[in-house]
Amino acid sequence: MLRTKDLLDLESCTAAEIKLILDTAEAFLAVMRRRIPKVPILRDKTIVNLFYENSTRTRISFELAEKRLSADVINFSASGSSVSKGETLKDTVDNILAMRADLVVMRHGSSGAARYLADRVPVGVVNAGDGMHEHPTQGLLDMLTMRQKMGTLQGKRVVVVGDILHSRVARSNVWGLTKMGAQVTVCGPPPLIPVEMESMGCKVEYDLPKAVADADAINVLRIQLERQTVQNFPGNREYARRYRVDGALLAKTKPSCFVLHPGPMNRDVEITSEVADGPRQVILEQVTNGVAVRMAIIYLLSGGAPESLGENLN
Amino acid sequence: MSKPKQPSATNPSPRLVVENALLVDPSRGLEAEGHLVCEAGKVISCDAGPAPEALRSDAGELIDARGLLLSPGLWDIHVHFREPGQEDKETIATGSQAAARGGFTDVVSMPNTQPVVDTAGTVRLILDRAREAGLCRVHPTGAITVGLESKQMVEYADLVDAGAVGFTDDGRPVEDGGLMRRAMDYSRILGVPMITHAEDLTLSEGGAMHEGAWSTRLGLRGIPYAAEVVCIARDIELARHTGAHLHVAHVSSRLAVQLIRRAKEDGLQVTAETAPHFLDLTDADCVDYDPRFKMNPPLRTIDDQEALIEALADGTLDCIATDHAPHTDTEKNRPFAEAPFGVIGLETAFAVGHDRLVRRGSMGYSRLIELMSTAGARIMGLPGGGLAPGSRSDFALIDPEETWTPQVRDLGSKGRNCPWLGRSLTGRVVATHLGEGFSFRRAAVDTARRD
């Protein structure tokens, strides 16, 4: 059981809650490996996926998680919907509530939108990404993947490299990993690092080779072309020159250091195909873990008790 | 709400005597227990001590204002009354109501209406509406550029002749420095201030709140100090070059204060204002993504707040102006990044100023009232902000000890975007007198004798 009805961010989660989610996710990984990878726990629930931003992998991941818990799933995407006809978020929400959903998973382009929704509806809200603010389920699946590879997060050094300024994944990574005792360093060109980022508990380093010299894990973020309204850096070719993760960079890291990427990748912009397809990345494990983490969160927010997990999974 | 009575030969407004008040009249350096007597829209007597018996004896109304401050009617030289064109947000009538509730008898309205106040006709419309409402004197500013587009000058003298009291593109900056220079140069023959909304749009671009640790945490685009400071620096240099009177609107930062202090030391004709919200709130207040804390310039840090308070006390900042900016609920009730900038402030301005400046010991009543009344009139070069005999009987009665929590019913504005709803404040307007009668009057103002 989590303390509130919602999962809006990792900033407000405790280390104990994060551990609970990760442990629960491990149990659901076992479910996913079964011949029938489903459990009937949420067969009485209806979940709405309210996606105001384009997303393939996150929405599918949530949908898979929800279906594996046997919930009924409604998908609502912004284009071709009432939103393009000028309906406000508040009105959309009221309409969906009137249809008696039990849980809402929302992705929205405005920071704070998940909070906006959660404050106005009695049902639980899972933040699937709000603007530049947080993407808690991504942070959790990143942490699960790292914990699997390293055994623990305590004392580990994680570098997050890319467009930190616009990245909700970066912020969630910093909050979550720091709470679990890891040391996070963010790296990128100065215009893409938010001011006073250290106040979030991480280090800031503009020199990538220096940042990754003693790293245990490197989380490579996509350059967010769709979020750029102004020119933040001189272009992809320039970015690749100083900040791309390639084989030569990895050769100078610890042999145990591995690479994550939330996807979708801009191959050869922030990461080379050599690395993306090579032996030192865990990108597909992240995807699998993503479904399990989302099953865990939805289970716990729907009143699922960790103690009952064993019987619920049989 | 009663309109002040129209005078006539057969029914001049009766004499009103207010006594036992704490009289604060910064125009005469007066702060003492005293009285005010007014009749037919003018102050007949106003000084320390009791009212002359001769004037008391045939008074139409006698008010015992024990425990209340009596100040010149308050001035707010930066309000948005949204009419013409955006009457869902506010009208001149409802804005005047908000002003009267806040103790204001005079406001200076901003020209970013629809249409923009860039022709004489619109100036006259505003003056007409204000007269019809009769609850507050509205002094319209005109735009510096046509349509606020920073391309073409407005016919300034034409608008001054119609009643404009100054010029500004507020809401927007004048983007073209050359044009701003020429407009400021021209203003010297008009004798009115040029008010700058200082913002470099390429630096504030897309920002929703102050750029700092909080915008980083909240994942909101930030508006850096530089956006304001760079433009203030430009306009100060233009004031230096032209010798025009520059008034800097809504100063929000220590860096800006430093520039203004230096400009004054250099003897330039520069005045400046800050708003109550900058004195009481900071960027940390955006933590819940509540758009009632979203305005432009944005709330900044505690350090900036301290600099602004110091600057109000030492004269670097000349006055307090609310930047009263109503919006409809539909517009404000949105995710933070999507909501428009602006908060209302007329009804709560005195209380916030009193709480943050007087009660915390930065200044006394005289300086606060000077900042909220006398200085505004002086900056605009208009009569008012004082209660010397012969002046208009525009005054406010304020209970400095009353603690209250603003609710929606206390608002006169159509806007509900008030950061202080539900927050306790101390200092509350009891009555506002405009010309020949009260524009606002709460119950329980003692009356010893009525006709």
Answer yes or no: is pLDDT of B5 > 60.
no
Determine whether the interchain pair A133/B221 forms a contact, defined as Cβ–Cβ distance below 8 Å: no
A vs B, Cβ pairs < 8 A, gives: 72
Q: Which of A44-53, A151-160, B195-204, B422-431 shows the lowest mean pLDDT across its residues?
A: A44-53
A9: in domain: no
Q: Which of B206, B219, B289 comes nearest A116 by C-beta?
A: B289
Phi first, then psi, for residue A173 (nearest 5°) are: -60, -45
Same domain, A223 and A294: no
Q: Which of helix, strand or coil describes residue B208?
A: coil
A94: in domain: yes
Buried b (16+ CB within 10 A) or exposed e, B343-352: bbbbbbbbbb
The answer, for A11 touching chain B at a CB cutoff of 8 Å, is yes
- Residue A219 to residues A253, A257, A258, A287, B259, Cα–Cα distance (Å): 14, 11, 9, 14, 44
A7: in domain: no
Q: Work out the pLDDT band at A85, boundaries 50, 70, 90.
A: low
Which pLDDT tens digit goes with each residue over A252-311?
A: 999 999 999 999 999 999 999 999 999 999 999 999 999 999 999 999 999 888 777 777
ipTM of this complex prediction, to 2 decimal places: 0.89
The answer, for A12 touching chain B at a CB cutoff of 8 Å, is no
Which pLDDT tens digit goes with each residue over B251-270?
A: 999 999 999 999 999 999 99
| Residues of chain A contacting residue B224, judged by C-beta atoms under 8 Å apart | 195
Looking at CA atoms only, how far is residue A129 from chain B in angstroms? 11
Determine whether the interchain pair A111/B333 forms a contact, defined as Cβ–Cβ distance below 8 Å: no
| Residues of chain A contacting residue B336, judged by C-beta atoms under 8 Å apart | 110-112, 116
Q: Which of A110, A130, A229 comes nearest B338 by C-beta?
A: A110
CATH superfamily of B16-71+392-450: Urease, subunit C, domain 1 (2.30.40.10)
Which one of B200, B215, B217, B287 would you mutate to disrupt binding with A, by most A Cβ within 10 Å of its Cβ?
A: B217
Which pLDDT tens digit goes with each residue over B120-146?
A: 999 999 999 999 999 999 999 999 999
Determine whether the interchain pair A195/B289 forms a contact, defined as Cβ–Cβ distance below 8 Å: no
Same domain, A187 and A213: yes
Same domain, A146 and A281: yes
Same domain, A92 and A141: no
Which CATH number belongs to the domain containing residue A72 in this structure? 3.40.50.1370
Q: Which residues of B are catalytic?
A: 323
Q: pTM here?
A: 0.92
Same domain, A19 and A105: yes
In 3D, which of B120, B193, B106 has the Cα closest to residue B395? B106
A1: in domain: no
Same domain, A176 and A127: no
Q: Cα angle at A181 between A177 and A186, to 5 degrees?
A: 45
Given 3.40.50.720, 3.20.20.140, 3.40.50.150, 3.90.1580.10, which CATH number is that of B73-380?
3.20.20.140
| Residues of chain A contacting residue B301, judged by C-beta atoms under 8 Å apart | none
Q: Which of A111, A134, A197 comes nearest B220 by C-beta?
A: A111
Report the domain count for chain A. 2
Listed by start position, the domains of chain B span: 16-71+392-450, 73-380
Which one of A127, A195, A224, A229 would you mutate to disrupt binding with B, by most B Cβ within 10 Å of its Cβ?
A: A195
Name the packing angle between helices A57-68 and A15-32 (round to 10°).
70
A3: in domain: no
Among chain B, residues having any CB pair with chain A shorter than 8 Å are 205-206, 211-213, 215-222, 224, 288-289, 330, 333-338
Q: What is the DSSP letter of B266?
A: T
Identical fold, B16-71+392-450 and B73-380: no
Residue A130 belongs to domain spanning: 15-135+290-312
Same domain, A145 and A263: yes
